[in-house]
Structure 1
Amino acid sequence: MAKKSFTLMVIPDHDAPVKRYTIQRSFLTQVGMGLMLVVGLGVGASVHYFQVAADASENRILREENLTLRSQLKSVRERIEHIGSTLDRVERFDQKLRAVTLLSDPQRNLAMGPTEPEAGTSAPATDTQFTQLTSTETPKALMGRLDRLSAEATRQEQSLQELQAYFQDQKSLLASTPSIWPARGWVTSDFGSRLDPYTADRVMHGGMDIAAPHGKEVFAPSDGTVVFAGLEGGYGNVLVIDHGYGIKTRYGHLSKMLVKAGDKVKRGMHIAAVGNTGRSTGPHLHYEVRVNGIGQNPRKFILEE
């Protein structure tokens, strides 16, 4: 049979007696199992500690990221609110401009009536669908709001481009509309029916005669393009300027022409000189304004005194 105990002998130095200790095998087994249990518990505790430490570190990082995301989300909400408020103001301004210019906007189905609220009604609230933000909105809801803001911004951009084109066209129209005296002098014959100085018959005078000294400057009354520069029957030396929008001006009896066909002219530009060429009784400028080929009274196109 296997021994159930062990004898441990301790032999000291010198003459001391040898000491014997008897250790039961079961005791050694229990001690070994205890040591193994302690080591196992130590290893388990170490693993648990490191896991807890790692979780704590990860939780700290997550908390920091959460705080950062909350701050960014707040900033996004504030920016959305600012953008929304700006778009609201732009839309109201757009409506006012369209009311002034009488431009319609079928996309919004805007009525081009008064922009002020009627009596007994209140003005629209400052906050609209774009500025009503809440602190509990989810990222998904914010993305939806951003999509709507993006669509509205695109629509506003198109609307403002249309208004810009309108005002640019109006600016071009104003620049192309005759508005100043083509020459300084005294009017000897106005637009309308008059007695012909050669035949004494009553005929239609399609322009205005401005008497002035020979060589007096003739100016372009507005922006345009010279479409004719040459002799034309009884009018002698003639210039014709096309101002666009169906408006043309004619200058007759010139002594000198300083521009030629194809030249661009600006309002106030020196283009010719008063003369006495053609069928004329003295130095003067024959000035006509035609709109879509129909003669108009030049005085309607002179804003100067």
Structure 2
Amino acid sequence: MSNKISFLILSNTGATKQATFSLALLRFLGVLFATGLVLLTYVIYDYSSLKKTFPGRRELQIKISHQAEEIAGQRKQVQKFADEITALKSKLIALNDFEKKIRIIANIEKATDQDSFFGVGGSIPDDLDTKVPLTEKHNSLMREMHAQTRQLDLASSKQQEGFESLFNFLQDQRNLLSSTPAIRPTSGWTTSGFGYRKSPFTGLREFHKGLDIATRMATAVIATADGIVSFTGTKGLLGKLVAIDHGHGIVTRYGHLKKILKKSGEAIKRGDIIANVGVSGRSTGPHVHYEVYINGIPVNPANYILN
């Protein structure tokens, strides 16, 4: 069997020529053609696929660009939050110092000390470094911010407790001051003081439990401190009498009245008119017998008159 194939080729002049090719060459050319055809088909397909996916890639690039901008904005926001944490810490420290000053002025013992103000260790946390490159130390700054946020939460709770205890103490002091007799119960002059004296009726030595303040008949008698009227009525030699309970173990009594203007159980403020001066009971003339009791013991009312 021949390994060659002959072909008749017609030339431009009309003559015919015979061309002979080996089978091996023809096979090689066939394989080469088939391979080229496959490669051409793959290139066309790949180009077609790339052309289809190109718009999606463009959108992906735009999306990545936007995300990069968002990340940069978030990093700036993180730095801003870190600055705000530092500012808040400074304000808490200033408030704590302010509370200290108030307690020193009012001579009040500190309820919470600085050692425990920021939690375990007590030391004031360092300011956050917002200048660090967040691309390198982002997680480190976030951890520090989280830790300081917990410390500030503890510090703010302790500061609230401190101010609440300070407020309660000052409120108690205010109530005590408003409930402490501090003014004269009426205008006039003192005719008899607190302590032992010679009785104007018997001439004998007796203990006088209050002050006698002489003035004109029907002059207003005022409460010397805030309180609740605990008694109105007649009380032996003191005649018509008003007693006011001021709390804290303090009671005042006003005797020899002409007319009582308040009722038992009524709330009274310092300066309220409670009665008029009279001569009821055993009296040598119009005056008010004024008494102050501390825990049931009579004390000198003159020590509780500041005006």
Query: Normalised by the shorter chain, which TM-score bucket?
Result: 0.7 to 0.9
* Distance in 2, Cα, partners of 1:34 & 1:231: 127
Does residue 165 (structure 1) correspond to residue 168 (structure 2)? The answer is yes
Say how many residue pairs are matched: 266
**Structural mapping, 1:257-272, within 5 Å:** 257-272=260-275
Q: Which residue type is aligned with residue 97 of structure 2?
A: R
Select the structure of larger CA radius of gyration: 2
* CA apart distance, 1:28: 5.1
Once residues 109 and 91 of structure 1 are traced to their aligned partners in structure 2, the CA distance between those partners, rounded to angstroms, is 8
Equivalence for 1:91: 96
Runs of 5+ consecutive residues of structure 2 not aligned to the other structure: 6-28, 116-122, 133-139
In structure 1, the residue corresponding to 2:74 is in which secondary structure? Answer: helix
Aligned to 1:153: 156
1:138 match: secondary structure: helix
Residue 246 of structure 1 deviates from its aligned partner by 1.1
- Aligned counterpart in structure 1 of residue 142 of structure 2, from 128, 135, 139: 139
Which of 103, 113, 126 is 2:108 aligned to?
103
CA RMSD of aligned residues (A): 2.4
- 2:202 aligned with 1:199: yes
TM-score by length of 1: 0.80
Shift of 1:49: 4.2
Quote how far apart the aligned CAs of 1:140 are: 1.9
Structure 1 distance, partners of 2:226, 2:126, is 47
Contact persistence 1:219–1:269 (CA under 8 A): yes
Matched, 1:273 2:268: no
TM-score (norm 2): 0.80
Structure 1 position 98, deviation (Å): 2.1
- Note the C-alpha offset of 1:165: 0.6
Give the aligned partner of residue 59 of structure 1: 64
Alpha-carbon separation, structure 1, partners of 2:277 and 2:205:
26
- Would the aligned equivalents of 1:130 and 1:149 in 2 still touch at CA under 8 Å? no
Is the aligned partner of 1:177 residue 2:180?
Answer: yes
Partner of residue 36, structure 1 = 41
**What is the percent sequence identity of the aligned residues?**
34
SS at match of 1:79: helix
Rounded Cα–Cα distance in structure 2 between residues aligned with 1:160 and 1:53: 60
Partners of 1:236 and 1:287 in 2: CA distance: 13
Aligned partners of 1:85 and 1:130 also within 8 Å: no
Which consecutive unaligned segments of at least 5 residues does structure 1 have?
A: 5-23, 111-127
SS at the partner of 2:62?
helix
Greater shift after overlay, 145-154 or 129-138? 129-138
Aligned twin of 1:210 = 213
C-alpha distance in 2 between matches for 1:131 and 1:273 = 68
Preserved CA contact (<8 Å) 2:111 2:162:
no
Q: Matched residue of 1:82: which SS?
A: helix
Is the alpha carbon distance of 1:157 and 1:201 closer, same or farther for their aligned partners in structure 2, counting shifts above 3 Å? same
Q: Which moved more, 1:29-38 or 1:65-74?
A: 29-38
Q: Which residue of 2 aligns with 1:254?
A: 257
Q: CA deviation at 1:29?
A: 2.6
**What letter is aligned with 1:133?**
L
Among 234, 241, 247, the residue aligned to 1:244 = 247
The answer to whether the 8 Å contact 1:81/1:130 transfers is no
Deviations 1:242-288 (A, max 9, x none): 11111110000101100011001111111001111111111110001
Deviation for aligned residue 1:106: 5.1
**2:37 counterpart letter in structure 1:** G
